[in-house]
Chains A and B, each alone.
Chain A
């Protein structure tokens, strides 16, 4: 379920989306695809305003796994944004990344693990890391903005330079509590 998160408590000084955008641009990312999550909203805005990056809004997250493989076949690096509920949608399509050793970088905002109001987010939250690891994706986690920037930089190098399949899980504690 991709329930909207329109109102996040702002955290002054936390400009990690701009930092992620900067480092992904420095890594020469040319395609970005996403199913929206409020935690990704600023990064989606930054990429969407960038004429040097092709962005695709998806109907379901596994489409982005296939697009990433096609982008790499054509010589471009890409990144896929989603929330944790979307990971379950991706599992079979990630066979493509695993068996073809396609560079894959997924940034996953976590739901269902920290001050979560919606119990429907909890089961897939619990299954996110085990299911990614079961299909062969390396999971990295970050709980603070500083750690996140460093983790994504490292993940990008692993994906694009070493042909690895990486998911960075962005802790819900970092993103902030949803206001209802």
Chain B
């Protein structure tokens, strides 16, 4: 296993480019920086922000994708969050939803807790794991041009789940904080899809 080449891509610019033409894609964000990145790209009713439940982002995406087969679902998360949910990649590979993408914003560190190095900078390749679990497509992106190309595919049909890793700088941009009231965010999200609150 070789050390990964460090990226010069800024995470906020990458997420903004990724979501620029998301249309009606439903987005779930993993705790920490991906939640701030998603909020910074624009608060929307069809965003579900996590502030905990580490390891659960992609699996919330799976349950949502199975319930809404006519819509695209994007789980936007970080390397640490996805590493805690490694088994979930196998579960998603077996479930094989055709409307779920996982995008890992990978700074190769646990950014929320003091920038300790994570596994992904030490040779662990989430795309290889996803490919071995039967994902329909995987890829590693390092430039804004590559992210812009991926952005055009996010809303498209796929043969199965896809996982993309976007390598970004290990930086902590100013926090952009969505509501921490999960009931409010849940009810807002469900109302967007036409479901009433209890």
> Chain A residues in contact with chain B, CB under 8 A?
30-31, 54, 56-60, 62-63, 65-76, 78, 92-93, 95-96, 99-102, 161-163
Contacts and interface: CB of A to CB of B under 8 A. Distances in A.
Given A54-B66, A56-B95, A57-B91, A62 B60 contact: no
Secondary structure dominating the interface of B: helix
B56 interface: yes
A100 B183 contact: yes
Contact of A67 (B54, B59, B182, B189): B59
A71 B66 contact: yes
Given A31-B66, A56-B95, A75-B67, 14 more contacts: A30-B67, A54-B95, A57-B91, A59-B87, A63-B87, A70-B63, A71-B63, A73-B28, A74-B63, A75-B194, A76-B66, A96-B60, A102-B186, A163-B198
Interface in B25-80: 26, 28, 48, 50, 52-57, 59-68
Contact of A99 (B48, B57, B91, B182): B182
A30 B68 CA distance: 12
Most chain A beta-carbon neighbours within 10 Å: one of B53, B57, B189, B194: B53
A6 to B, nearest CB: 22
B55 to A, nearest CB: 7
A31 to B, nearest CB: 6
Contacts of B190: 72-73, 75
Contacts of B87: 58-60, 63
A73 B64 CA distance: 6
B63 A78 contact: yes
B53 A96 contact: yes
Interface in B64-120: 64-68, 85, 87-88, 90-91, 94-95
A75 B91 contact: no
Interface of B: 26, 28, 48, 50, 52-57, 59-68, 85, 87-88, 90-91, 94-95, 182-183, 185-186, 189-190, 193-195, 198
B68 A74 contact: yes
Nearest to A102: B186
B60 A75 contact: no
Nearest to A160: B198
B68 A56 contact: no
B46 to A, nearest CB: 10
A67 B67 CA distance: 10
18 contacts: A54-B66, A58-B87, A59-B90, A62-B55, A67-B63, A69-B60, A70-B61, A71-B64, A73-B26, A73-B48, A73-B64, A74-B63, A74-B66, A75-B193, A76-B63, A96-B56, A96-B182, A101-B183
B91 A63 contact: yes
A99 B63 contact: no
Contacts of A93: 53, 55-56
Given A73-B48, A162-B198, A67 B94 contact: no
Contacts of A75: 67-68, 190, 193-195
B62 A73 contact: no
B67 A71 contact: yes
Nearest to B193: A75
A38 to B, nearest CB: 21
A71 B68 CA distance: 8
Contacts of A70: 28, 59-67
Nearest to A95: B52
A57 B133 CA distance: 14
A67 B62 contact: yes
A57 B94 contact: yes
